[in-house]
Amino acid sequence: MTFSDELRTAAAKTWDAAATHRFVDELWSGRLEPAVFGAHLVQENLLLDPLVALMGAAVSVCDLAESRLVHARRLGLLAGPPAAYLARAMDVLDVPLEERTHPEPRAAAAELRELLEATRVSGDHPSCLAVLLVTDWLGLDCATRPDAEQPTDPLLREWVELRRGAAFEGWVAFLRLEFDRVSAALDAGRRDALRGLFLRTAELELAFLDGAYT
The pLDDT of residue 83 is above 90: yes
Using CA atoms, how far apart are residues 91 and 28, in angstroms rounded to an integer? 21
User: Residue 126: which pLDDT band, with cuts at 50, 70 and 90?
Assistant: very high
The pLDDT of residue 4 is above 90: yes
Rounded alpha-carbon distances, angstroms, from residue 59 to 64, 72, 74, 93, 112: 10, 6, 10, 34, 20
pTM: 0.96
The pLDDT of residue 100 is above 90: no
The pLDDT of residue 214 is above 90: no
Domain count, the chain: 1
User: Residue 70: which pLDDT band, with cuts at 50, 70 and 90?
Assistant: very high
92-112 mean pLDDT: 94
| Side chain identity at residue 157, one-letter code | R
The pLDDT of residue 112 is above 90: yes
Q: Identify the CA nearest to 133 among candidates 211, 202, 56.
A: 202
pLDDT tens, position by position, 141-176: 999 998 889 999 999 999 999 999 999 999 999 999
Using CA atoms, how far apart are residues 134 and 198, in angstroms rounded to an integer? 7
Name the residue range of residue 20's domain.
Answer: 3-213
pLDDT tens, position by position, 198-207: 999 999 999 9
HSE at residue 201, side-chain half, CA atoms within 13 A, is 27
User: Residue 195: which pLDDT band, with cuts at 50, 70 and 90?
Assistant: very high
23-40 mean pLDDT: 96
Percent of the residues in the chain that have a pLDDT greater than 70, as a whole number? 100
pLDDT tens, position by position, 17-27: 999 999 999 99
Which pLDDT does position 162 carry in this prediction?
A: 96
Which pLDDT does position 148 carry in this prediction?
A: 86
Name 104's Cβ contacts closer than 8 Å, sequence gap at least 6. Answer: none
Which pLDDT does position 147 carry in this prediction?
A: 85
Rounded alpha-carbon distances, angstroms, from residue 162 to 34, 133, 156, 206: 19, 16, 10, 19
Domain of 125, CATH number, reads 1.20.910.10
- H or E stretch including 13? helix 12-19
Average pLDDT, the chain: 96
Angle at CA of residue 192, ends 121 and 118, nearest 5°: 15
